[in-house]
Chains A and B, each alone.
Chain A
């Protein structure tokens, strides 16, 4: 892996690599594409935008003056993976997800991995994502992280790496579903020609998966609800969408209270018990009696109910310790420690700036690296060295020196590209992939995921909050 010190990296194109020509998973699509009238495709692109705007699939962007609603741009060229590529990926993801849950169970109980010296004690004890309130608590069915969105990048035909393990509250799955829905509306004939594995049953799988991890105290069919911070949250559309598709209630903190040792929601007929809460509210806001006292988004006393085993919270409080960027660099050791095998999916080499030698290296090579805040997310507060000006690099170096432990650095990878449709025809853009994983008594991975694409030519930042778009992701049934 080399970094070129420029944003124009020689990237592997998943459709048409320069070296080998059109790749097999794209053959059928390419044949279809060549038969299409370009004007019709442009029209379809506009249709897609109208569909999204009409259905109100919008995304609020933090930090903008008005609480504006924006569309995440959608590109109509699918990102295609062969069945074989997918099988390999899923093996790696399953192994990783198993390790994440085993790690969480261990870290909140015996802490054997710390005793074995494979992960430094300091990293846990002084980490804000570690919740002492969870020590000794075993969640229903022993599952900590129920819904995971593993961010994967590709740099060549056979090299896939995990960029981040989103083990807290990964978002974007509604886009995976709506993107497919939109593609099927726009190009029904394509799906007759090419066998694409379905993703539509994700909400049913999610519901079954949540029901399977209900607390033992739940009698009969468990009552499930989705907890949202409210309609002004940037991901509100997704919260409503999932609740709707699962046929469960979408609740806010103001609807909930603890009644007779259970969490209950206020209905038109009085309070009704909830057994499983799929929460899309951060740990800090979950229970004002335990965490942030000023939070109105959570439920006072829910942690007591949880500790008494009377509710399942998905994902469990405290799972953030597993996808912390400082922990990330230890994932190869963590996977090996709990599964007894080498990690099938590799990590991107990471310099921990808390270590003096690494810090020195990072400062010397700041123009070549991607530097991220350990606790940041959504592409905020990061530096992409090759794309930054000298001034920006210098400013960032100062922040870095002031608090080195707050940062990690990674080489600037030549993320694979996939073409998007522009006014001038197909043009390659960098992509990543977020498959969604459900954990209950089994691990299920929906064949597909969210492909995020950097719409700006040469840009490596795919986050929707930073102007990225999305694509439908196809796993071929071959």
Chain B
């Protein structure tokens, strides 16, 4: 038996852990672009902010789209509710609230991540130290995930946690693609320029897939392959299809456990079916932007339905 409030806390705890890490990946990709481009990098930082969903809040605070401003805003600014620091803080508050549902190892890894990042992000990060800080963020979240997978019982507590992780991750991957969808359109990138190559690599880098891409596809970046990898690949752990495979699985566990299906099950199945039946060509024919737009909307709806169906509030 699980309290609705506890399920809610588990769900959001994991969404925010995922988010804390995603912010680090986005900054990482942005940094790389800024380093490799000779021209003004402000456009690149703007798309990083768009992917993070933080562009409006940023523009209210800053005028210059510089590495220092953007990384400060996305990593350590506590007035930005999605920054790594805010996310880890929210994750920990949720963990504190659901503490009785977590193993000691899981709780301690979250608490320690919070303590260490709080220390590390207490003052503005020198640009030279950014790579170290980004690595530390990824390491802390990896430790949380490790203790979570290693010690948690596979029951409803695990299921609600995973739902949070994958709803957040799917949202994140879809947003990254949507911000850059135009560089993936065939009409514009029939022949990949150097610039396009940087853009494509940046997309892969922001989901930490620039190396594994080569294991799956040919060495050259091709926009359709990149889109295929991030949307339809079943094995790529941040692809939309991968996320929905696990969302479907955990929702099924819950339906079996409780002996009851809800609206969220139908929604997840609808999205899964859409991902299963289409080829990447169909998606491009339908319109990549439209596809992503619908996906983000449906994914958000799934989150709302889960909250309602399982009495989070």
* B-facing residues in A216-259 (Cβ within 8 Å): 230-231, 236, 240, 243-244, 249-252, 254-255
Instruction: Report the separation of the CA atoms of residues A291 and B100 in the bound assembly, to the nearest whole angstrom.
Output: 30
- Name the residue of chain A whose CB is nearest to the CB of B99: A240
Tell me the minimal C-beta distance from A339 to chain B in angstroms: 39
Instruction: Report the separation of the CA atoms of residues A415 and B115 in the bound assembly, to the nearest whole angstrom.
Output: 38
Tell me the minimal C-beta distance from A52 to chain B in angstroms: 11
A34 interfacial by beta-carbon distance below 8 Å: no
- Chain B's interface size range is 20 to 34
Instruction: Report the separation of the CA atoms of residues A54 and B112 in the bound assembly, to the nearest whole angstrom.
Output: 7
8 Å CB contact of A268 from B4, B97, B115: B4
A265 interfacial by beta-carbon distance below 8 Å: yes
Contacts of B93 in A (CB 8 A): 231
**Interface segment out of the listed B59-67, B103-111, B179-187, B204-212:** B103-111
Contacts of B252 in A (CB 8 A): none
A423 interfacial by beta-carbon distance below 8 Å: no
B158 interfacial by beta-carbon distance below 8 Å: no
- Name the residue of chain A whose CB is nearest to the CB of B5: A255
- Name the residue of chain A whose CB is nearest to the CB of B93: A231
Contact with A along B1-23 (1 / 0, CB 8 A): 11111010000000000000000
**Are A266 and B108 within 8 A (Cβ)?**
no
Interface size on A, residues (CB 8 A): 23
Contact with A along B108-140 (1 / 0, CB 8 A): 100110010000000000000000000000000
B245 interfacial by beta-carbon distance below 8 Å: no
**Are B5 and A244 within 8 A (Cβ)?**
no
**Are A266 and B1 within 8 A (Cβ)?**
no
A56 interfacial by beta-carbon distance below 8 Å: yes
Instruction: Report the separation of the CA atoms of residues A254 and B4 in the bound assembly, to the nearest whole angstrom.
Output: 10
**Are B96 and A268 within 8 A (Cβ)?**
no
B221 interfacial by beta-carbon distance below 8 Å: no
**Are B96 and A266 within 8 A (Cβ)?**
no
**Are B100 and A243 within 8 A (Cβ)?**
yes
- Name the residue of chain B whose CB is nearest to the CB of A252: B5
Tell me the minimal C-beta distance from B8 to chain A in angstroms: 9
Instruction: Report the separation of the CA atoms of residues A255 and B311 in the bound assembly, to the nearest whole angstrom.
Output: 10
B258 interfacial by beta-carbon distance below 8 Å: yes
**Are B310 and A268 within 8 A (Cβ)?**
yes
Instruction: Report the separation of the CA atoms of residues A251 and B5 in the bound assembly, to the nearest whole angstrom.
Output: 9
**Are A269 and B1 within 8 A (Cβ)?**
yes
- Name the residue of chain A whose CB is nearest to the CB of B109: A54
A65 interfacial by beta-carbon distance below 8 Å: no
**Are B311 and A236 within 8 A (Cβ)?**
no
Contacts of B3 in A (CB 8 A): 249, 251, 255, 265-268
A272 interfacial by beta-carbon distance below 8 Å: yes
* A-facing residues in B154-204 (Cβ within 8 Å): 156, 160
Instruction: Report the separation of the CA atoms of residues A231 and B96 in the bound assembly, to the nearest whole angstrom.
Output: 7
Instruction: Report the separation of the CA atoms of residues A269 and B2 in the bound assembly, to the nearest whole angstrom.
Output: 8
A55 interfacial by beta-carbon distance below 8 Å: yes
B260 interfacial by beta-carbon distance below 8 Å: yes
8 Å CB contact of B311 from A54, A240, A252, A266: A266
Can you name 25 A-B residue pairings with CB atoms under 8 Å? Answer: A54-B112, A55-B107, A55-B108, A56-B96, A56-B99, A56-B108, A231-B93, A231-B96, A240-B99, A243-B100, A249-B1, A252-B5, A254-B5, A255-B3, A255-B4, A255-B5, A266-B3, A266-B4, A267-B4, A268-B2, A268-B156, A268-B254, A269-B1, A269-B258, A270-B311
**Could you list 8 further interchain pairs (A-B, Cβ under 8 angstroms) beyond the known A250-B100, A255-B4, A267-B311?**
A240-B99, A249-B1, A249-B3, A251-B3, A252-B5, A267-B3, A268-B311, A270-B311
Residues of B whose CB lies within 8 Å of any CB of A are: 1-5, 7, 93, 96-97, 99-100, 104, 107-108, 111-112, 115, 156, 160, 254, 258, 260, 310-311
